[in-house]
């Protein structure tokens, strides 16, 4: 076989990886045999090829022995392909004239105790690489310009912080929020642990800053409905749902709410978890951003019957802000990077039926209690039961819908701390006797353990045990009319029955019901539980496998406010790092069309999962956009005329590799 690359001089480098490889593979003999392969000029083994002295070996061999191909047998290319390509480049070689052989993950690690076989396998793999690399060609990286605008999806504290960080750095941000206001879950909380500062006091200034910022375009009641393009050049479709109020014209004076034909508020108020009521025209809460009302078409008589007197329109007067004709509005924007901060949903306590939520009126979810305690909540901050009485004793059950085979297996991380906070606040508001039922107390965080100690000092009871059930079954007179928590107290090894007036279920955090749709929309991955997956759990915690899409907050996993804000800042700065580089490198392992051979049959176009192939109308031939191509090879395999080829996966390279690995059978 001939090759078009002149005289090929190959250097083979075998890494010991300490004892990771050398403990199982006889690296010395492998190197000796590799030295005798055709085209190999030098063959070496070294303790750590990825170290500076290891890389230096390659450099000096390029100079001394004039090698022009490099084969490194070490770990997975995922880990160090970049390192060795860089080393080759520094030595004056084209980086794509290197090839890695994985004799660690694919060999020594999986064949522990089988030295002879593992050594033979290393021989085979290296032989394959040596034959393949003769056919490598020098390749050049591509570059693509980056659009500076950023899309932030989700306007909770994560999205707010990311948007402000980016906007303050001078980038234009589109902040898209599904609800009528930004603020997310944090806006509903009363106080925050462990410092007990008021959630609204620290959040609302940031919300106002979002609205006021010249670099932020805020779209509420809006959803991302389509995403096309690639890193640096995303084309995003946002659907803005009607709020039946012209946002530009509404002054937030609320006179329409006052004038509504419904004199009494009688529809479940979502912001207050249904504990309060609102009218068909309403503002979610006093500090909502934007400070604009909206109309709920499910509740409004005009939408249902078309016969309303429309006193709201009258009250609005010359502003003419009310618009019953509003329809979905579709916006198309171009952004270079995306921050996903879509948050979480609280576990529905009905999923744990033995705690009686929905059966016993005085069993509350923790989100409901947040609103009960809140001074701007439905009771003005008074903790009262559904019959208006004050609880004298309260049981708080931790881990509801967390750490449980039947609901969610994971620890939701924040429930121990917010349960402590609720215990403190309920005690402060009512003086009630409080019982916390926990499996383990998890308080790892700055000032968290101290807060736990403080609660112990305050006389809150802590019972270690998973509550079996909440029941109204009374064993004697003292339990009548109460809710009884049945629990094994695992510290005193006793089964106890604890009667209380109010039960609080500390519900866990889980992915949104439609997280999978969002995942598909942005072409990212998620774990089995549904939280979005970061590129690396330790070293790339805010990146995703889709370049230019970053994660912030609870959509990636349960976390508290400090961690959420830190992650949002990290996501924003990762986006900034991309934007400010101005351009992105594109790996050349992409498909290309040999135009002379292409018949223009278009088989490939429909098959490409990345919409990277188009048809040149003038030439009637296919062409591949290297920026969109991910190098999956689908089109190459499908092309009937063999006119699609792929860099680094050329037919000769693959065939030679196969021949090489099977050579032992000769």
Partner 1 sequence: MAEGYVYFPGCSLKSTGVAYEESLLTLFRLLDVKLQELDDWNCCGATSYMAIDEDSAFALSARNLALVHKSGNSQVLAPCAACYLVLRKTQDYVQRYPSIRAHVSSTLKAANLPMAADSVHTRHPLEVLYNDIGVNRIRSKVSRKWQGGPVVCYYGCQAVRPYYEVDKPVNQSRMEELLDAAGIPTVNFALKTKCCGGSLTGTIHSVGLRLNYIILKEAARKGAKAIVTLCPLCQFNLDAYQSEIRRRMKENLDMPIFYFTQVLGWALGGGTRELGLHRAISGTTLVKQWFSAAKEVAAHV
List of residues contacting partner 1 (CB under 8 A): 353-354, 359, 471-475, 480
Least separation in angstroms between residue 360's CB and partner 1 is 9
Nearer to partner 1, 19 or 359 (CB): 359
Residue 150 gets which letter from DSSP?
Answer: E
Nearer to partner 1, 473 or 545 (CB): 473
Least separation in angstroms between residue 348's CB and partner 1 is 14
Question: What are the start-end ranges of the E strands in 201-343?
Answer: 216-219, 222-230, 233-240, 267-268, 277-278, 281-282, 294-295, 329-335, 337-340
Count CB atoms within 10 A of the CB of residue 625. 15
Least separation in angstroms between residue 187's CB and partner 1 is 33
Question: Residue 508 in contact with residue 558, Cβ under 8 Å?
Answer: yes
Residue 575 vs residues 168, 210, 616: alpha-carbon distances, Å: 13, 18, 34
Nearer to partner 1, 197 or 480 (CB): 480
Least separation in angstroms between residue 486's CB and partner 1 is 10
Least separation in angstroms between residue 388's CB and partner 1 is 22
CA 190-379-434 angle, to 5 degrees, is 65
Phi and psi at 49, nearest 5°, equal: -65, -25
What is the secondary structure of 11-41 as a DSSP string?
Answer: EEEEE-TTTTTTTTS-HHHHHHHHHTSTTEE
Least separation in angstroms between residue 501's CB and partner 1 is 17
Contacts of 156 (CB under 8 A, 6+ apart): 182, 183, 184, 185, 186, 341, 343, 553, 554, 564
Least separation in angstroms between residue 351's CB and partner 1 is 11
* Structure tokens that stand for 167 in this block: 């906007």
Question: Residue 560 in contact with residue 413, Cβ under 8 Å?
Answer: yes
Q: Which of 200, 462, 511 is nearest to 344 (CA)?
A: 511
Least separation in angstroms between residue 407's CB and partner 1 is 13
Binning the chain into helix, strand and coil, the percentages to the nearest 5 are 30, 25, 45
152 CA to centre of own chain: 12
Least separation in angstroms between residue 487's CB and partner 1 is 15
Nearer to partner 1, 354 or 664 (CB): 354
Cα–Cα distance, 322 to 237 (Å, whole number): 26
Q: Which of 110, 129, 126, 130 is nearest to 118 (CA)?
A: 110
Nearer to partner 1, 233 or 407 (CB): 407
Least separation in angstroms between residue 569's CB and partner 1 is 44
What b/e sequence results for 531-546 when a residue is b if at least 16 CB atoms lie within 10 Å of its CB, and e otherwise?
Answer: bbbbbeeeeebbbbeb
Contacts of 187 (CB under 8 A, 6+ apart): 181, 199, 200, 203, 204, 207, 271, 285, 287
Which is it for strands 69-74 and 98-102: parallel, antiparallel or unpaired? parallel
Least separation in angstroms between residue 480's CB and partner 1 is 8
Residue 478 gets which letter from DSSP?
Answer: G
Least separation in angstroms between residue 213's CB and partner 1 is 50
Radius of gyration of the chain from its Cα atoms, rounded to whole angstroms: 32
Nearer to partner 1, 59 or 350 (CB): 350
Question: Residue 386 in contact with residue 422, Cβ under 8 Å?
Answer: no
* Structure tokens that stand for 382 in this block: 């008074």
């Amino acid at each position: 076989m001939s090759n078009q690359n002149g005289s090929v001089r190959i250097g083979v480098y075998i890494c010991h990886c300490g004892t990771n490889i050398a403990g199982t593979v006889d690296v010395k003999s492998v190197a000796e045999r590799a030295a005798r392969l055709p085209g190999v000029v030098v063959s070496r083994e070294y303790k750590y090829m990825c170290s500076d002295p290891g890389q230096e070996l390659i450099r000096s061999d390029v100079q001394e022995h004039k090698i022009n191909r490099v084969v490194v047998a070490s770990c997975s290319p995922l880990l160090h392909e970049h390192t060795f390509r860089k080393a080759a480049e520094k030595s004056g070689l084209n980086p794509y004239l290197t090839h890695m052989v994985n004799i660690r993950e694919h060999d020594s690690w999986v064949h522990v105790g089988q030295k002879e076989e593992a050594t033979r396998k290393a021989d085979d793999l290296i032989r394959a690489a040596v034959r393949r690399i003769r056919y490598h060609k020098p390749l050049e990286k591509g570059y693509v310009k980056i659009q500076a605008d950023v899309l932030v999806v989700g306007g909770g504290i994560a999205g707010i912080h990311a948007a402000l960080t980016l906007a303050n750095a001078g980038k234009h941000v589109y902040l898209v929020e599904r609800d009528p206001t930004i603020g997310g879950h944090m806006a509903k909380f009363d106080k925050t642990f462990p410092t007990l500062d008021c959630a609204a006091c620290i959040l609302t200034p940031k919300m106002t800053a979002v609205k006021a910022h010249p670099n932020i375009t805020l779209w509420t009641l809006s959803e991302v409905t389509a995403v096309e393009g690639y890193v640096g050049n995303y084309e995003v479709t946002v659907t803005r749902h009607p709020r039946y109020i012209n946002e530009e014209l509404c002054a937030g004076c609320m006179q329409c709410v006052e004038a509504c034909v419904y004199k009494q508020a009688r529809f479940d108020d979502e912001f207050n978890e249904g504990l309060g009521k609102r009218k068909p025209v309403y503002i979610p809460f006093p500090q909502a951003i934007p400070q604009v009302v909206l109309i709920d078409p499910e509740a409004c008589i005009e939408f249902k019957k078309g016969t309303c007197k429309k006193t709201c329109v009258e009250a609005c007067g010359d502003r003419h802000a009310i618009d019953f004709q509003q329809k979905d509005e579709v916006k198309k924007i171009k952004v270079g990077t995306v921050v996903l901060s879509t948050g979480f949903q609280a576990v529905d306590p009905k999923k744990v039926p033995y705690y009686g939520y929905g059966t016993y009126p005085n069993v509350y979810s923790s989100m409901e209690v947040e609103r009960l305690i809140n001074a701007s909540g439905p009771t003005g901050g008074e903790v009262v039961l559904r019959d208006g009485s004050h609880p004298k004793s309260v049981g708080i059950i931790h881990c509801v819908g967390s750490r449980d085979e039947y609901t969610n297996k994971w620890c939701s991380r924040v429930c121990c701390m917010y349960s402590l906070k609720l215990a403190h606040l309920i005690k402060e508001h009512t003086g009630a006797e409080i019982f916390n039922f926990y499996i383990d107390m998890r308080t790892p965080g700055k000032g968290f353990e101290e807060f736990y100690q403080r609660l112990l000092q305050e006389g809150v009871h802590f019972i270690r045990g998973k509550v079996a059930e909440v029941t109204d079954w009374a064993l004697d007179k003292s339990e009548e009319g109460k809710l009884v928590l049945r629990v094994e107290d695992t510290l005193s090894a006793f089964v106890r029955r604890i009667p209380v007036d109010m039960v609080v279920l500390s519900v866990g955090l889980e992915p949104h019901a439609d997280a999978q749709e969002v995942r598909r929309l942005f072409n990212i991955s998620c774990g089995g539980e549904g939280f979005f997956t970061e590129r690396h759990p330790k070293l790339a915690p805010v990146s995703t496998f889709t370049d230019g899409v970053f994660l912030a907050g609870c959509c990636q996993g349960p976390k508290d406010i400090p961690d959420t804000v830190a992650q949002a800042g990290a996501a924003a700065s990762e986006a900034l790092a991309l934007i400010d580089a101005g351009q992105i490198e594109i790996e050349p392992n992409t498909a290309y069309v040999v135009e002379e051979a292409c018949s223009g049959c278009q088989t490939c176009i429909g098959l490409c999962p990345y919409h990277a192939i188009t048809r040149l109308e003038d030439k009637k031939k296919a062409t591949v956009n290297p920026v969109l191509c991910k190098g999956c090879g689908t089109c190459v395999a499908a092309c009937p005329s063999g006119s699609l080829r792929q860099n680094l996966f050329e037919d000769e390279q693959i065939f030679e590799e196969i021949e090489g690995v099977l050579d032992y059978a000769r």
